[in-house]
Structure 1
C-alpha cells in the first residue's frame, strides 16, 4: 500500500533533516528515503528543490505570523522581529535563506503585510517613501543580526568551544596587531568592551532602529 504523502508532510520531513544537517546535505532523494518512498513520488508534490525550500520557509513564517497585532505598531514590530530571531535560532538554515530570493508564500506575505502595516502607523512615517525606507532598514537589521548570531553559534560548535573562548584564542595575534598603535578604537573595543548578551543586544539595537523610525525628520 503506498505511503500517504502531502506537501505538509514533505516539508516537515525536510525541516527535520535541515535542522539536523543543514541545507547542504538536503535533497529530494534523502527526503524520499526518510519517508520510505521513491524519489519520483515527491515530484507529484514539489517540482524541484527551490520549490521545496520555498515551502519550508513558509512553514517557518507561519510560526512568525502567529505573533499577530500586539496593541500598537511598535509592539507588533517588536513581536515580529523577536519571533523571526527565535525561528532562525531554532532553524538555523532559515537564516541562510533570509535576504536572498523573495519569500512570497502566503505566510511570508502575511508577515510582510503585518510588518508594513504596523510601520505605516509609526509617527515618523508620512508617505510611501518613508514606509519603504522603514521596511528596508528594519529588514536589513533583522537579517544581518540573525545571520551574525547564527554564524557565531556555528563557529563555536565547529571549534568545540564557546564564542568567548574562541575570541580569546585569537589573543596573541590581536595583541601583536593592537600594539602597533594603528587601531586605537578597535583596541578599546577588544580590551574594554564587555561580552554582550546576544538577546539583549538584539533587543537594544532593534529599539534603536524603531526610535529612528519614530522620529520625524525635518521637512
Structure 2
C-alpha cells in the first residue's frame, strides 16, 4: 500500500523537513486553531533516532502479544516529548497521559535551575538550565497520538497489517486534531488539511485506501519504512 517505488527513488531527491521543524508548525497551527493548506505540507519528514526508538519499541511489543498500544506526542517548552506507551485490550486502546514541566532551584549551583519533565506525575527527564534561560511562561501543547495495529496471519500463512479504520478517521475528525499516526510494519501519518470536511463518506467495515483518503477526505498521507523518512504519498 505504501508507494514503494516513490519512497525508494525519490527519498534522496525531494525536499525534506526535519521532524522538529514540522512539529513546531503543528504547534503553531494548533495555537491558531487552523488546519494547514495542502500545498503547505512537506513532501517528506525526517525523524530523529529517539522517535524511531519509541516507534519500534511499541511495534515489537504489539507484534509479541497482539495488543494495541499508543503514544502521545507533545510540544512542551520548546521540546518534542513522547509519553510512555499505554496498553489497551485486543480491540481498542485509550491514552490518558498527562505532562508537566517545572523549574526548581539547583541544590548546589546557585545560578542554575533544574528543568524536570513529568509524565503521569513520574519524572522522566531532568536537565540543568541557566537562570536567565528559565521561561516566564511554560507552553505545553498536545499534538497528536499514534497507535499500533497488530499483525494478522491469513489462512495462507502470510502476515498482514490492517490500514487505518473508519473509526480511526472518525476519531481524527471529531478530536479536531491536525494529525494522527499508525504503526504497523511501517509508520503512517495522516494530516488533516483546510480542505478536509467533517463529513466522513465511509461506513463501518469499509476498507480504506491511500488514494481514497487523499481524494475523498483531502488528507495528507505519509508513509515511512522504519528508520527512514516519511514520504508524502
Q: What TM-score range do you get, normalising by the shorter chain?
A: under 0.3
Larger relative contact order (CA 8 Å, sep ≥ 6): 2
Higher strand share: 2
TM-score (norm 2): 0.23
Structure with larger Rg: 1
